[in-house]
Chain A
Amino acid sequence: MMVDSQIPDTARLADWLEGRLSPEDTAVLAQLVTANPTLQEQVAWLQEFLQISQTTTLADPPAAVRQAATAAFAAYAQNKRPSGLLRSLVATLTADNWQRPALAGARHASLRSEPRQLIYSSDLADVALNAHMPVGSEQIDLDGQLFPLDDSDPADFVIQLLQDGIERGLLVSDDLGKFSLTGLPPGHYTLVLSRDQDEIEIDPLELV
């Protein structure tokens, strides 16, 4: 039985929260905690700890996990990836709002009359493009967004727009993978999106 003047230690508080105390000791302890802000802080921390522990299993993995992770890092550290070797991917057009059955046989749309939405797919990322010609302008704005297939950070892709081998635009995708190129003359382009040792090429990109 607890003496009223005793300040319970953490073990006692844990026993209380885990229901190990007698009803009499429980009542005494509850009164002590109610009257003592320091004890209340301790109890609050223990309650959070116990809440997490009741819903979570934590276990140490077998040694094989460390062995495999060590081997993976060893390959990285020894630079087994050949430097300068680029994985180049050609993206495939998978959606085009201009390719609609209703337009079959009709005059081909142009950016003067209708914006064009394109989706390209590759093994690295999907790329959504929206090309439009602002009212009163003869030039084209191109907005795009990258969606890495592995859900990795889409930021910091280098975006390069080429026309006949000549660079027409160079920028970097933002935190959401978005980029914009404005004031482009109508024509046929190549869009290259790259990061580290990967690049995605969209060619040809018709902006007419």
Chain B
Amino acid sequence: MTKLQHLTDQELLQQCRQGQANAWQQVITRYERLIFSIPLNYGLTRADAADIAQLTFTTLVEHLDRLRDDSNLGGWLATVARRHTLHHLRKHKREAVGQEKDIAESHFLLNTPAGDATAYWERVNWLNQGLELLDQRCRQLLLLLYFAEEPPAYEEVAAQLGLRVGSIGPIRGRCLDRLRAILVERG
């Protein structure tokens, strides 16, 4: 882990308030995948999801001086991203891309069966933070195999990552072990 990766969210925010750009870059690194993915899961296009992510980071900048030191930054960002996403959906009255059912029936909006949406996204954030601490190859592999919008076949994964098809299974296992170890250590 780099020195910045060791810092807590509160320590990063304190450095951001002092105008330290590298601390801000670490905040982006830590949360950009989460806040970009939230609108994707509500059915927004990648372009619209990128707009939501930009808006969410801008909102964070505007609130930097107000956020309490004990704020749950991941939860706060997820809540802001969800709010901006819902505003976008109401404004544009858009159907989910590629889905026949109305976005309003999405279990994410109805908070079922995942339960409370805030708790759900905090769980996703917890997992995402673990992925962020993996080496690049493991992170790319697990994101492709398990979190892609359209999970590719092993042959495509192998081609993208420069691996032998037969090695994907064992590497997947080792990467999952590393992820679990990271998450257990973080608590």
Contact = CB atoms under 8 A, between A and B. Distances in A.
A60 B64 CA distance: 24
A12 B32 contact: no
Max chain B CB contacts within 10 Å: which of A52, A65, A74, A76?
A65
A68 B54 contact: yes
B105 interface: no
Contacts, number: 123
Interface string A12-32: 101100000000000000000
B25 interface: yes
B85 interface: no
Contact of A70 (B25, B114, B124, B169): B25
Contacts of B37: 56-59
Given A11-B172, A12-B173, A15-B169, A65 B32 contact: yes
B127 A52 contact: yes
A105 interface: no
A56 B49 CA distance: 15
A57 B40 contact: yes
A151 B114 CA distance: 24
Interface in A159-208: 195-196
Contacts of A73: 16, 21, 24, 61
A153 interface: yes
A53 interface: yes
A46 interface: yes
A59 B149 contact: yes
Interface in B36-95: 36-37, 40-41, 46, 49-50, 53-54, 57-58, 61, 63-66, 68, 83
Given A46-B176, A76-B61, A60 B66 contact: no
A56 B128 CA distance: 11
A50 B176 CA distance: 11
Contacts of A76: 19, 61, 64
B10 to A, nearest CB: 16
Contacts of B50: 61-62, 64-65
Interface residues of B, number: 49
B177 A10 contact: yes
A100 interface: no
A107 interface: no
Given A11-B172, A56-B41, A153-B66, A65 B57 contact: yes
A77 B40 CA distance: 30
A108 B61 CA distance: 49
A137 interface: no
B138 interface: no
B137 interface: no
Contacts of A14: 172-173, 176
Nearest to A65: B53
A61 B83 contact: no
Nearest to A62: B50
Given A56-B147, A72-B58, 12 more contacts: A55-B107, A58-B143, A59-B36, A59-B37, A59-B40, A61-B32, A65-B57, A68-B57, A69-B54, A70-B25, A72-B57, A72-B61
What 8 A-B pairs have minimum CB-CB distances, sorted nearest first?
A11-B173, A61-B36, A69-B57, A77-B19, A53-B146, A58-B147, A10-B173, A68-B54
Interface of A: 9-12, 14-15, 42, 45-46, 49-50, 52-53, 55-62, 64-66, 68-70, 72-78, 151-153, 195-196
22 contacts: A10-B173, A10-B174, A11-B169, A11-B172, A52-B123, A56-B124, A58-B124, A59-B36, A61-B50, A65-B57, A66-B32, A68-B54, A69-B57, A69-B58, A72-B57, A72-B58, A72-B61, A73-B24, A75-B61, A77-B19, A77-B24, A152-B63
